[in-house]
Structure 1
């Protein structure tokens, strides 16, 4: 090797092999990186602990006497093993104590909900939990190493017989890698470990102490590359208040409130006041600004604040003590489950050895005393002779395990050969014990040891069943109080543009061609969000979509401007335009579902002189009737006629359209507003999230046309008719019925009237006409309870009640029991007192969906062509 090569490798060429500065940096950095990964940031799979946590638990175990210890004292004891100071130990100790599985805390240990820190270490106390003392420690199965200063010994890993890592979760950042393992449910860990031992496939999902809801559809069992979404639990109180009841994992009430206030300052949401009422349970009360929908605000909180978090798990652990590995939580669970079985096997083998030794000596002791062998040593001259006399006396009654029994040999076979230590131990028995020796009690003790030894051998032969029983024991003994807190669900992706608060106003200067939020002296168009897109259509037939800004030039002579939503299939644009090439008036209907921003699109055929004669935007595909007035100088016989847009099919924005007339048009005016030609809008409600949708998720609510209303009947005995709002969220558990309202609907209700203490039946039609307002059809007494409300035309119900501790049932035809009366009537008495159950026997009522069929042709304009050629109503197909 040349001198240059040696220098490049970090060494000089001389005999001393002096390390160069470059080599020092490389070596020291690798040493540092290795140290941080193995000794500080990443846990070991064997016990699921980082070194500082392991040393804290070891110190607590050494101190353990059942009483609480000052945390300052625990920190001092731990510093004998951990060389990184009291601050690191104190923080790790508080973290373990707040999780509550291994350390039993006393005093002010902070609040994980609010983010309040723990009191000083001299004020708070800790001790090991009963779970920790039973599951984590066993000096007989522990491997030891010398502490950093050589004065103490510490465990390499604690012999934990439970997946602590999965129960507590962990997070750490090392050099070049990180680890992030979610906490999981104690009860589910035990059950899934049992499944592994039974040869079944396990499943394990995160469970957080702060509750909330988690979407695990992309969890990938915690592998690197997976992702979970976590949501706070938000409750709608009324139209002015909403409350956050549970937090996303990793959030505190203060950090969550900060994100809400930040979103409010940016105008993404509109809230009037945020109040933290958290004590033992989370409650962040949010007061909404006037006119703001609570349902939209809930979605906006998920979209713009930390009420929804996306977390990327990364199960990185140390295996074998030498290097990190990227695995899944199921790999960890399987490894620890089998490790638990191995540790239990070691404990059983140690116990077997101990029992065998006890049984061996108890047998020797019994013969030594009962057969009075101790008297034979009275004449011995020295101690070696004493040992020989005792051995000779014992061999009369016992046979070594390797010695073959001869015919007539009735000696008892020992578990092992008699050693000198056994004989010496016999000589140390006190005379007092010999004098009080009870042969019957000795036989009982030997029988008990033999029974215990038999059980241990049985457990070793059935080790898997023994391990299953171990996990079941943990589940039965410690499972109470560890029920799942986090709900598992699937989240709809919140469309940001749909829930962003209207934090801006859109204005237009039609003549000069400007639109924007800063034109406050010009014509107001609509309230909108600062992330909305704006659609503009000019008189020359040009269309453009642009992002809203303070002031944007889009072209003069604007005839339509509005907020544009991508993928909108319902909004339909109706127009009549003059074709500059032929002079004909053309009619067309189209949607604008997708577009390239800031690009002009021609809605006419593109000929010079083309212009719009009439234009309308219809949010639900309405087709109006317009009056067409021709020029007086035209040769047409009929110069004034109506044109119905319902004749035209809805096509793309590039279509040429149909001929309205070949003669010059003086003006086109609206004559009659139209109904939707798209047919009824089928709406479903997701029975999990309570959200309305068009994707056929959940329960069909009916087909909604222009002007149709939604009927909601609540468990609290109220109903309301309201306009269809796709952003509205409902609580499925609080609803008896939700669906399209029809005038002939009859509500049948069974309820207990609290003041009169009777159960009544009433049937009524909706008589109120105020949409968006709740009306109560039961009494307001606090003990009034609505059992059932149904819209079925022939409702059949089964009721049950108790009579002298006997349950009785009866089937009632409600339509035969009472006629339809007013909605304020009390109804007819069904039963004295309360009912146990009321069950509807009919299939759930679903309003019929009215299908709308649009005719292909209509007679709308008089015949204007004499013969041949293109006639009014014909479709022109154009190639672009």
Structure 2
């Protein structure tokens, strides 16, 4: 017995051990339960109605409270708490969010502002009610699936029967456990149009539309799926040369956060502004006053590059389908919602069809019951059963005509007809009513047979009724990529210690190189033939014996480097011209053939592909017949940086000296003039001047009555406020001018050709005198002007063609008296076709090597001659 007891105890212990659940397993189950609950009941919307549970419960509660009047939001919150067991704060936030979308809820009071980030007033101060649109498309108890609320006291909808792509119209954002969702809002009318296209068998394209307006680039939208991206921008306008205005802000950004980002960019030196003023009221308006000498065009680009004026949004369309999260594109969501709308409309028609059939049935029964005086046959019946049996027998001849069997409930309903109704029964009215039911039934049956056409008409009616004032706010466009280093303000100075090999912004005791931005890359070339590109810093060691230090611009095909180096293996001097288009930062590149003791003898950097001439001096003891000769870099083709080069000479070189500047060997370059900063550029900022080749110049005419010829170097700086006219110089095109001579107090007109050729020197072409001033200047062939002048006590206007007033004379000539003397203003009204500049042309590469930069030598990169019969390379000796 003791043994048996011990065995039983042992078995019980084993059973208890098997029942033990590890703590880790308990946490796993609890976590999965919690994750499922958050995903399904809190964060992710259902695809059917597009609502999260809290939103659905708010809509249901508001429908229960709906009497056409506004209700305090505090009361709505209280009503919703009967269904949503998560406190008033989450319900209040959800109501505010829905109200600000201005679609399902009509609001009254201070509901905040998504543009400025202002919060709404307390729930006890603001009111709401369902919109007419919500009442039209969201509710129908007859087709709603119901479930018990969390405490079992009430019923709430599983999903609302929404006959509209509500999820896409409102948009939604939520973070669950292990996943998130972000569906962006779309335009009301565009969704309806897209749903109609789906019903027509087409594949529509829909893009988000943000309530904040602005600009958006959807080229990488990816149908709203994970991995997609949208770039959104503020809408910025130039008010004047010193002020720009932000009119719309990007979605997800407030005016406050936007201004903060602008001030931070200014503090970091990325942009240069004087003041930011927020004038936002009914419409967004943020005014930005520019610092002196700042270009509005460049500043606008810099705002996009360095502030929240441009942001990126990553959509992630995740929805609940049959109690499971699914990742769908917005097109699939739209098709699902459209199919659901068709099904709901079909259900509503079926219900209405049944209702009409029942009405026809009972109307027929009522007519038979009264017209055939069946009600009199029951007067002699002594029991209730006899009454029902008598009526049933009276209906027997007509039963085959009914669509279903007559039930006892139908007969009971006939007994409930009042005597007053029987006495006033009108057969004609009864027939009219039955005809009305029959016609409506026929229409319903027709709509059921043509449910797609019916659905299309439904969408059209919704658009007609509720679509007014819901036009697209966000402009769909494509953004150009703004290069940050191009638009960044020059906020640091670059210095270099060429001998010791240090560069940086903190070396203020060393040689100043250039103004630049703190995001620029710096390129350096060393005597040993090595090249390096590195990020600008306070102090960086890049190698001793630096030849050149400058700002590196990626893919700059205009910058050409000319170099002569001694090859350490053969002793020959090699010459090469090359570009540096793309590199790996902080990696050394060897520009020679890589042999030891190679070194650079001559080096120059040429921003426009110039090819200068140099004088080469050979050693006195060498065997060359000609020991001093000139070499023109224009004879060498531009190749990749890895090219070995051509042989300059096989004899030892004593020194190489610069002889004279050359012209560009590249094609022409398009030049623009920014009249705010007074600088030339190739970034399409300002006015287009033309396509320039190496020997072309720029003509500048100043307010002072002076003209000047300059080259088209981008480093040129002009006093913008004093420039009257700037254009590409054409020696065959005359200058027309009207000026006032203070000495004789007379207004003159003159036409002349530019006869001087000296660059960077100003020539006065009007009379000298403190009060002399230039009214008008033009290089148009046939300029036309409108002159406002004082005629006695009144002001008059008159037009002149300058070509008719004077011939071309010398630039020093005084000119002819102008027909009008009391000139107040002269306006250029030359026809557009006369003033129109040539269109920008694509650059021609000329002799530039088409191959990309390589790190290896390729055939044809160098020319070598061996033996005593070597030809004299390049025809020099």
State TM-score, norm by structure 2: 0.76
> In the alignment, what sits opposite 2:274?
272
Equivalent residue for 1:486, pick from 474, 488, 501: 474
Question: Do the aligned partners of residues 628 and 143 (structure 1) sit closer, same or farther apart at CA in structure 2, a change above 3 Å counting?
Answer: same
Say yes or no: does 1:133 pair with 2:135: yes
1:294-443 correspondence runs (5 A)? 294-320=296-322, 322-396=323-397, 399-400=398-399, 403=400, 413-443=401-431
Distance (Å, rounded) in 1 between the aligned partners of 2:328 and 2:83: 30
Residues 744 and 765, structure 1, Cα contact 8 Å, conserved in 2 = no
Q: Between 325-334 and 220-229, report the one with greater CA deviation.
A: 220-229
Structure 1 residue 118: Cα displacement = 0.3
1:2-81 correspondence runs (5 A)? 13-14=15-16, 17=19, 19-81=21-83
Structure 1 residue 256: Cα displacement = 2.0
SS at match of 1:189: helix
Equivalent residue for 2:265, pick from 263, 266, 276: 263
SS at match of 1:873: helix
> In the alignment, what sits opposite 1:618?
606
> In the alignment, what sits opposite 2:449?
461
Structure 1 residue 307: Cα displacement = 2.4
> In the alignment, what sits opposite 2:693?
705
Structure 1 residue 739: Cα displacement = 12
Structure 1 residue 579: Cα displacement = 5.5
Distance (Å, rounded) in 1 between the aligned partners of 2:616 and 2:21: 96
Equivalent residue for 2:538, pick from 547, 550, 553: 550
SS at match of 1:481: coil
> In the alignment, what sits opposite 1:861?
none
Q: Between 520-529 and 35-44, report the one with greater CA deviation.
A: 520-529
1:504-653 correspondence runs (5 A)? 504-577=492-565, 586-604=574-592, 611-628=599-616, 641-653=629-641
SS at match of 1:561: strand
Residues 666 and 844, structure 2, Cα contact 8 Å, conserved in 1 = no
Distance (Å, rounded) in 1 between the aligned partners of 2:508 and 2:671: 38
Equivalent residue for 2:107, pick from 105, 108, 128: 105
Structure 1 residue 600: Cα displacement = 4.3
Superposed CA offset, 1:333-370 (max 9, x none): 11111111111111111111111111111122223333
Superposed CA offset, 1:583-619 (max 9, x none): 6654332222234444444445567766544332111
1:715-754 correspondence runs (5 A)? none
Structure 1 residue 502: Cα displacement = 2.0
Distance (Å, rounded) in 1 between the aligned partners of 2:421 and 2:357: 22
Q: Between 288-297 and 16-25, report the one with greater CA deviation.
A: 16-25
SS at match of 2:506: coil
Superposed CA offset, 1:25-75 (max 9, x none): 222221111111110011111111000000000000001111110000000
Structure 1 residue 441: Cα displacement = 1.8
Structure 1 residue 240: Cα displacement = 2.8
Distance (Å, rounded) in 2 between the aligned partners of 1:482 and 1:766: 60
Distance (Å, rounded) in 2 between the aligned partners of 1:16 and 1:622: 88
Distance (Å, rounded) in 2 between the aligned partners of 1:478 and 1:766: 68
Distance (Å, rounded) in 1 between the aligned partners of 2:433 and 2:710: 82
Residues 269 and 297, structure 1, Cα contact 8 Å, conserved in 2 = yes
Residues 629 and 876, structure 2, Cα contact 8 Å, conserved in 1 = no
Residues 268 and 503, structure 1, Cα contact 8 Å, conserved in 2 = yes
Question: Do the aligned partners of residues 435 and 250 (structure 1) sit closer, same or farther apart at CA in structure 2, a change above 3 Å counting?
Answer: same
Distance (Å, rounded) in 2 between the aligned partners of 1:844 and 1:855: 28
- 5+ residue gaps in structure 1? 1-10, 404-412, 686-691, 712-720, 728-737, 748-763, 772-790, 794-815, 827-837, 857-866
Distance (Å, rounded) in 2 between the aligned partners of 1:366 and 1:724: 101
Residues 12 and 19, structure 1, Cα contact 8 Å, conserved in 2 = no
Structure 1 residue 475: Cα displacement = 1.5
Distance (Å, rounded) in 2 between the aligned partners of 1:693 and 1:328: 44
> In the alignment, what sits opposite 1:808?
none
SS at match of 1:216: strand
Superposed CA offset, 1:797-842 (max 9, x none): xxxxxxxxxxxxxxxxxxx99989999x99xxxxxxxxxxx999xx
Question: Do the aligned partners of residues 875 and 493 (structure 1) sit closer, same or farther apart at CA in structure 2, a change above 3 Å counting?
Answer: farther
Residues 569 and 593, structure 1, Cα contact 8 Å, conserved in 2 = yes
Q: Between 162-171 and 274-283, report the one with greater CA deviation.
A: 274-283
Residues 638 and 848, structure 2, Cα contact 8 Å, conserved in 1 = no
Distance (Å, rounded) in 2 between the aligned partners of 1:651 and 1:598: 23
Structure 1 residue 18: Cα displacement = 5.5
Question: Do the aligned partners of residues 844 and 460 (structure 1) sit closer, same or farther apart at CA in structure 2, a change above 3 Å counting?
Answer: farther
Aligned length: 751
Distance (Å, rounded) in 1 between the aligned partners of 2:403 and 2:807: 93
Residues 278 and 285, structure 2, Cα contact 8 Å, conserved in 1 = yes
Question: Do the aligned partners of residues 851 and 259 (structure 1) sit closer, same or farther apart at CA in structure 2, a change above 3 Å counting?
Answer: closer
Distance (Å, rounded) in 2 between the aligned partners of 1:432 and 1:245: 71
Residues 647 and 855, structure 1, Cα contact 8 Å, conserved in 2 = no
> In the alignment, what sits opposite 2:232?
230
Question: Do the aligned partners of residues 334 and 304 (structure 1) sit closer, same or farther apart at CA in structure 2, a change above 3 Å counting?
Answer: same
1:801-820 correspondence runs (5 A)? none
Q: Between 203-212 and 217-226, report the one with greater CA deviation.
A: 217-226
Distance (Å, rounded) in 2 between the aligned partners of 1:299 and 1:348: 57
Residues 12 and 18, structure 1, Cα contact 8 Å, conserved in 2 = no
> In the alignment, what sits opposite 1:205?
207
SS at match of 1:346: helix
Distance (Å, rounded) in 2 between the aligned partners of 1:15 and 1:231: 65
Question: Do the aligned partners of residues 819 and 146 (structure 1) sit closer, same or farther apart at CA in structure 2, a change above 3 Å counting?
Answer: farther
Structure 1 residue 158: Cα displacement = 0.4
Question: Do the aligned partners of residues 520 and 15 (structure 1) sit closer, same or farther apart at CA in structure 2, a change above 3 Å counting?
Answer: closer
Say yes or no: does 1:124 pair with 2:126: yes
Residues 624 and 675, structure 1, Cα contact 8 Å, conserved in 2 = yes
Structure 1 residue 555: Cα displacement = 3.6
Distance (Å, rounded) in 2 between the aligned partners of 1:820 and 1:251: 60
> In the alignment, what sits opposite 1:292?
294
> In the alignment, what sits opposite 2:187?
185
SS at match of 1:91: helix
Question: Do the aligned partners of residues 164 and 855 (structure 1) sit closer, same or farther apart at CA in structure 2, a change above 3 Å counting?
Answer: closer
Distance (Å, rounded) in 2 between the aligned partners of 1:765 and 1:77: 87
Distance (Å, rounded) in 1 between the aligned partners of 2:154 and 2:234: 47
Structure 1 residue 141: Cα displacement = 0.6
Structure 1 residue 668: Cα displacement = 4.0
Distance (Å, rounded) in 2 between the aligned partners of 1:766 and 1:237: 37
> In the alignment, what sits opposite 2:744?
none
Distance (Å, rounded) in 2 between the aligned partners of 1:870 and 1:188: 76
Distance (Å, rounded) in 2 between the aligned partners of 1:723 and 1:153: 83
Distance (Å, rounded) in 1 between the aligned partners of 2:211 and 2:369: 62
Residues 507 and 518, structure 1, Cα contact 8 Å, conserved in 2 = yes
Equivalent residue for 1:470, pick from 458, 469, 472: 458
Residues 61 and 79, structure 2, Cα contact 8 Å, conserved in 1 = yes
Q: Between 542-551 and 626-635, report the one with greater CA deviation.
A: 626-635
Residues 508 and 522, structure 1, Cα contact 8 Å, conserved in 2 = yes
Question: Do the aligned partners of residues 855 and 526 (structure 1) sit closer, same or farther apart at CA in structure 2, a change above 3 Å counting?
Answer: closer
SS at match of 1:643: strand
Structure 1 residue 465: Cα displacement = 1.1
Superposed CA offset, 1:114-166 (max 9, x none): 00000000010000000100100000111111111111111111011111111
Structure 1 residue 670: Cα displacement = 3.6
- 5+ residue gaps in structure 2? 1-12, 674-679, 700-708, 716-725, 736-750, 761-779, 783-800, 809-817, 820-830, 850-867
Residues 587 and 657, structure 1, Cα contact 8 Å, conserved in 2 = yes
Distance (Å, rounded) in 2 between the aligned partners of 1:693 and 1:171: 44
Question: Do the aligned partners of residues 229 and 872 (structure 1) sit closer, same or farther apart at CA in structure 2, a change above 3 Å counting?
Answer: same
